[in-house]
Amino acid sequence: PDRKTIGIRASRATTDASGNYELQYLEDMPGAYVGEHRVMISKRDGPRELAPAKFGPYSRETRAVGAEAQVLNFDLESDEGR
């Protein structure tokens, strides 16, 4: 079965002023479902998207989320893919 069939949903996060984030699975449940996840990142200045296109709505970037706490960093300074 795929994620939709068994009710797995995406996690979300918002960065703080230092760029740190913590994923939230549900409003009162931090984290993410264990497994491979597609990564989408958005940073807007009005209508203009500032994040690299490789993290946009058609992103093919993925990261594996494990059962233990982990840190995943993303290079958002690169112009590659914009």
Full pLDDT tens readout for the chain, 82 residues: 555 555 678 899 999 999 899 999 988 889 998 989 999 999 889 999 999 999 999 999 999 999 999 999 998 875 554 4
Q: DSSP 3-state assignment of 20?
A: coil
Percent of the chain, pLDDT > 70? 85
| Bridging pattern class, strands 29-30 and 24-26 | antiparallel
Q: DSSP 3-state assignment of 37?
A: strand
- pTM of the predicted model as reported, rounded to 2 decimal places: 0.74
The predicted structure's pLDDT at residue 77: 77
Tell me if 14 sits within 8 A of 21, measured CB to CB. yes
